[in-house]
Amino acid sequence: MRIAFYAPLKPPDHPVPSGDRQVARLLMQALTIAGHEPILAARLRSRDGGGDRQRQARLRVVGTKLADRYLRRVSARPDLRPDLWLTYHVYYKAPDWIGPRVAAALRIPYVVAEASLAEKRRNGPWQIGHRAAADAIKRADRVIGLNSADREGVLPALARPEHWSVLLPFLDTAPFDAAIARRRAARARVAERWRLDPALPWLVTVAMMRADVKLDSYRLLGAALAHCLDRPFQLLVAGDGPAREHVKAALKPLGDRVRFLGRLEENEVPELLVASDLYAWPAIGEAYGLAVLEAQAAGLPVVAGRTGGVGDIVEDGMTGILVPVGDTAAFAAATAVLIDDDTRRARMGGAARRKIAASHDLAAAARRLDAVLRDLVPAPAR
């Protein structure tokens, strides 16, 4: 079927990399694998990060105009008419002003993949965005949950409880499998490129540098690892962003234990992860963390905060260690345990890779996504 695809937070062809952009691309890839034709229907970024009601009102006007323009285009070209509309990631800061209007006018199913609803935003500065997100969720014929932590807030807003469907977070494991097959060479290249000691355990994190919960996680990471300086390790940090100097300040106590790698291209990440020994990220405010999923696909154990849907993808004690989110001492202790025990790291890393292959691979996600959508638009009889 032809599927109109929209990601109001960040379109899949946006030039700046992020987890949201990658998940949007993965969803389009999964739809293609399942035999559908996803078409990017709009590029409007509806995000209002500051709680500016005037901006939200302007975005609502722009979204309405774009929806009407889309409908005129489809009316003039019936061959472009979609069978279903799918919007990725709807919440109060980035509501969908386009999809519900188009789907209602065309009388096609409206689907949301990943949605969250925070009642505390009902009457605050994001009131307009919150109401739009709630309306979109109620209008949705299906909300596909990638994060179990969203279920409690979303379920009461659905028109029917059965409109909630589960899809485990997923990724394409092929690049990681290929990198694992060349792990020794990958470690040698990474060591040479950034002047690292291959005899040390390498801790790694991949995250954008923003002055929000990302910075909070970097600060906790620096404070926690400062308690581990009596142990041998090197921290590799891949990422960049407007809070770069604040991140460097947060990690300054680690001295020359830190290597800042800057922003890496998407195809460089598998080699970096495969070459490393342990993924460490406090995960403050994370939905689930695509990079945490990637690290496990690379065969790395994970130390992370137990928040959001991180527990959906990290099996505590098996593929990593989860600690209370925001607990510096617990994060330091868990990291120290795995720095000290290379046998346990190897065992957890192997379990992580098997878990991702069994439950979070792109092919399995394509089958699950297809089943959900086919329930709304059955295949035509032959």
Ranges of H-type helices in the chain = 19-33, 53-76, 99-106, 127-139, 151-154, 174-180, 183-194, 213-225, 244-251, 269-275, 290-297, 310-313, 328-340, 342-359, 362-374
Question: Rounded CA gap, 54 and 51, in Å?
Answer: 9
Model pLDDT, residue 16: 85
Are 72 and 92 part of one and the same domain?
yes
Contact 272, 236 (CB under 8 A): yes
65 and 138 part of one domain: yes
Same domain, 337 and 365: no
Instruction: Tell whether 98 and 178 lie within a shared domain.
Output: no
pLDDT of residue 17: 82
Are residue 112 and residue 243 in the same domain, yes or no? no
- The secondary structure of 237-276 as a DSSP string is EE---TTHHHHHHHHGGGGGGEEEEEPPPGGGHHHHHHH-
Pairwise CA distance, residues 24 & 26, whole Å: 5
Torsion angle, alpha carbons of 53, 54, 60, 66, to 10: -150
Rounded to 5 degrees, φ, ψ at 84 are -160, 150
Domain that holds residue 135: 2-170+361-374
Cβ proximity of 116 and 91 under 8 Å: yes
| Count of domains for the chain | 2
DSSP 3-state of 378? coil
Q: Could you tell me if 43 and 161 lie in one domain?
A: yes
Supply angle C-alpha 336, 340, 342, rounded to 5.
125
Query: Is the domain of 59 the same as that of 118?
Result: yes
Please check whether residues 287 and 369 belong to one and the same domain. no
Residue 381 domain flag: no
SS3 291: helix
6 and 137 together in one domain: yes
- If phi > 0 it is left, if psi is from -120 to 50 it is alpha, else beta; for residue 310 that is alpha
Residues 226 and 125 in one domain: no
| Tokens standing for residue 224 | 């926690």
Residue stretches of the chain with pLDDT short of 70? 379-382
Query: Are both 154 and 211 inside the same structural domain?
Result: no
pLDDT value for 382:
47
- pLDDT tens, position by position, 246-294: 999 999 999 999 999 999 988 999 999 999 999 999 999 888 889 999 9
Which residues, 6+ apart, have CB-to-CB distance to 40 below 8 Å?
5, 6, 11, 12, 13, 28
Query: Which pLDDT score, from 0 to 100, does residue 380 have?
Result: 62
Q: What is the CATH number of the domain that holds 349?
A: 3.40.50.2000
Name which of 278, 296, 344 is nearest 317 in CA terms: 344
CA 247 to chain centre: 21
DSSP label at residue 355: H
Q: What's the pTM value of the predicted model, to 2 decimals?
A: 0.91
Tell whether 154 and 178 lie within a shared domain.
Answer: no
Is 32 a domain residue? yes
